[in-house]
Amino acid sequence: MTATVLCERITTEIAVVTLNRPDKLNALNAELLGELDATFATLSADANVSCVILTGAGEKAFAAGADIAAMSAMSTEQARAFSETGHRVCLRIERAPFPVIGAINGFALGGGCEIALACDFLYASDKAKLGQPEVNLGVMPGFGGTQRLARRVGIGRARELCYTADTVAADEALRIGLVNAVVPHADLMTKARETATKIASKGRLAVAQCKRVLYAGADVPLDVANALETQSFAMLFGTKDQAEGMKAFLEKRKAAFTGV
């Protein structure tokens, strides 16, 4: 049986995770979500991983949504369980101890957009289209889309996209802050790998703490968030990477970080 999620280590520090149902436009079913969860659990347990790129197989889609054929006969209880699975996978991606770059190579709709929103930031092919069209089917986003979309683009824009089911092309996604950059389709993975390589060259523990504090501080009062930052800032001064980074700066050479 072909795996629905592929994981390739392109270096010791960088992995590319690929949603692999191209004949179904990488639609999200229970099997794919389970494999995606397991893949990120394994990567998160590997202290060598500094950055992960998440993309979709084929030329048309990152993930065109959840598998409607599988969803159509779900009971209320089954729908709740499916939603809980999607939330668990998105949290796994969002809380991974390394940045996750979403490389949006085509359609990222519904559940596919929600998986993308769990990434730290997104690069889009000029062929990409993103949106939350669930109300067309008489349902609503169920993997955190209403919440992460509002936090990414603002509550007013999120309301408009969720209520109308409109999809946005790559340039519009860039304009509203949904993606960080738009590149020619053929250059998408090159762009993602270049950024992943840049991130991997930095202090891994420092990047991980940046991610943790940015995530934890987003929805708490500023004084609480600043206290989290101070705690993490101080903690990093007990690491070998801090000593090496500052020594390398003073010696005018490139730091050799080890992640300890």
Domain boundaries, the chain: 5-200, 204-250
Instruction: For residue 69, count CB atoms less than 10 angstroms from its CB and return exposed for 0-12, middle for 13-18, buried for 19 or more.
Output: exposed
Check residue 1 and give its pLDDT: 63
Burial 192-216 (b: 16+ CB within 10 A, else e): bbebbeebbebbbbbbbbbbebeee
Give the pLDDT mean for 255-259. Answer: 93
SS3 labels along 152-175: HHCHHHHHHHHHHCCEEEHHHHHH
Q: Are β-strands 121-125 and 14-19 bridged in parallel, bridged antiparallel, or unpaired?
A: unpaired
Q: Mind listing the pLDDT tens digit for each residue in 138-151?
A: 999 999 999 999 99
**Strand blocks (E) in 117-207:** 121-125, 129-131, 167-169, 181-183
d(C-alpha 171, C-alpha 169), whole Å:
6
Q: Classify the C-alpha dihedral 179-214-13-18 as positive or negative.
A: negative
Mean pLDDT across the chain: 96
Give the pLDDT mean for 114-142. Answer: 97
Phi and psi torsions of 256, nearest 5°: -110, 85
Residue 19 pLDDT exceeds 80:
yes
Q: Could you tell me the pLDDT band of residue 2, with boundaries at 50, 70 and 90?
A: confident
Check residue 71 and give its pLDDT: 87
| CATH assignment of 5-200, among 3.40.720.10, 3.40.50.300, 2.40.10.220, 3.90.226.10 | 3.90.226.10
d(C-alpha 157, C-alpha 173), whole Å:
11
Q: Mind listing the pLDDT tens digit for each residue in 160-215?
A: 999 999 999 999 999 999 999 999 999 999 999 999 999 999 999 999 999 999 99
**What is the chain's length?**
260
Give the pLDDT mean for 82-103. Answer: 97
* Helix, strand, coil tally for the chain in percent (to 5): 50, 15, 30
Check residue 222 and give its pLDDT: 95
Q: What are the residue numbers of the active site?
A: 114, 134
Q: 32: Cβ–Cβ under 8 A, 6 or more apart, which residues?
A: 4, 5, 19, 20, 21, 26
- Nearest partner of 82 among 68, 93, 92, judged by Cα: 68
Give the pLDDT mean for 97-122. Answer: 98
| Angle of helix 155-164 versus helix 145-153 axis, rounded to 10 | 130
Token reading at 242: 């801090």
Contact between 86 and 111 under an 8 Å Cβ cutoff? The reply is yes
Q: Which fold has domain 204-250?
A: Lyase 2-enoyl-coa Hydratase; Chain  A, domain 2 (1.10.12)
Q: Could you tell me the pLDDT band of residue 5, with boundaries at 50, 70 and 90?
A: very high
Q: Mind listing the pLDDT tens digit for each residue in 46-90?
A: 999 999 999 999 999 999 988 888 888 899 999 999 999 999 999
Neighbours of 108 (CB within 10 A): 31
